[in-house]
Chain A
Amino acid sequence: MRKGLFAGLALMMAMSVSAVQAEGPVEMRIQAMKDTGAAMRVLAKAAKGQTEISLLQELAAKTVKKTGASIPAMFPKGTGPDDAMMGDTRAKTEIWSDWKGFTAQATAMEQAGDALIAAVGAGDRAALGAALDQAGKACGGCHKPYRTPKE
């Protein structure tokens, strides 16, 4: 438990540092995705029984939910690949031409976050695994149609 607490604090610190470092909208999005990836990893390890479910997982579950809730605001108009100064973004123009479909995936992620929070709260590994599958589908459901693959 103490180990979890320290790790949780470390994660929080890492996230607050990264929030300071992030500048433009693209950098902010990339950092949010990295943080979410780290959170997913923490949750997956617990679901597999490699670590216990503790405060760290609670924080991670909340991170996933928060990312889902923040995604629409993180992609304002004018931050696509064709816009000035957004050269590094792999966001596709389809995000804005299919805004409804895009935000539906964000909502799916937010809901998966709720399921994760519930599973962590109940200390239920099986439910955590199922919620992770749900979150994973939301990740892929957005990356496939709305992100340009790395060259």
Chain B
Amino acid sequence: MRDILGLVLKRLGLGLVTLLVISVIIFFMVELLPGDLAQAVLGQGATQETVEALRQELGLDRPAVVRYLDWLSGAVVGDFGTSLISGDSVGDAISDRFLNTLFLAAYAAVIAVPLAICLGVLVALLRNSLFDRIANVLTLTSISSPEFFLGYILIFYLAVKTGLFPAISSLSGDMTFGELLERTFLPALTLVLVVTAHMMRMTRAAIINLLASPYIEMARLKGAPPWKVIARHALPNAWAPIINVVALNLAYLITGVVLVEVVFVYPGIGQLLVDAVAKRDFPIVQACCLIFAATFILLNLAADVGAILTNPRLRHPK
């Protein structure tokens, strides 16, 4: 048990270092702006005095390293400074929207993960059959379509033509949970389609890889019934790749959410990020990027830890 804990802690430490490096990249990339932040915000027409005043206000007269440490210590407790456009606190603007985004991602994940794993295993067991071929073409098409294409197609058939679901997911505080689920059904379904396709293909590949190993053949040859080959011999070894697939795709979900939020005008953090990029509101861009990157790293970390816990071979690295 001790060595597992050590390995997990080591992975966590590595993840933390990566996050730190990424925060450095995110912060110092803004320093690469032609001129500096104050000049970029005010544009060409600004007088020397106003630029100086804004520089004072943003604290640009201090060295970059000090400002970075300031920003990082604030970010750890959820304080990302103030927006350049509206002057509001970035932390307040983000917190609600971040919860909305998490809700959407969780909604999609709850549907997509069991569906994709069941279908993936099924396709792997029925490989090279007609069903497998059709599933292959369908998942390939779904992966190859841009998210906004799928989103608009769903809007067209399920909102405009039949009127089953609302095309725009506007949320308000006093909605019941059922209403919330109905309002966010189309964006969630778009994400489900994309992620399920990815996950199915990866699960299929992992299971087929597993079924080709000699001990499965051995189990078959000694006459074990098919369900027992799957349940007793294949499944315990399949958990590691499946956990990996799930975590990787949840990480993918986090970025896929940006485009889907824009299509459905969903009040999430992705929409906020896109608006801030267009308006060049750097504190919001930095905060959103840091949050997305942190979630991404966390999920990849979860995949690694899950793999260590379910695969004893990884506990004894050579």
Same complex: no
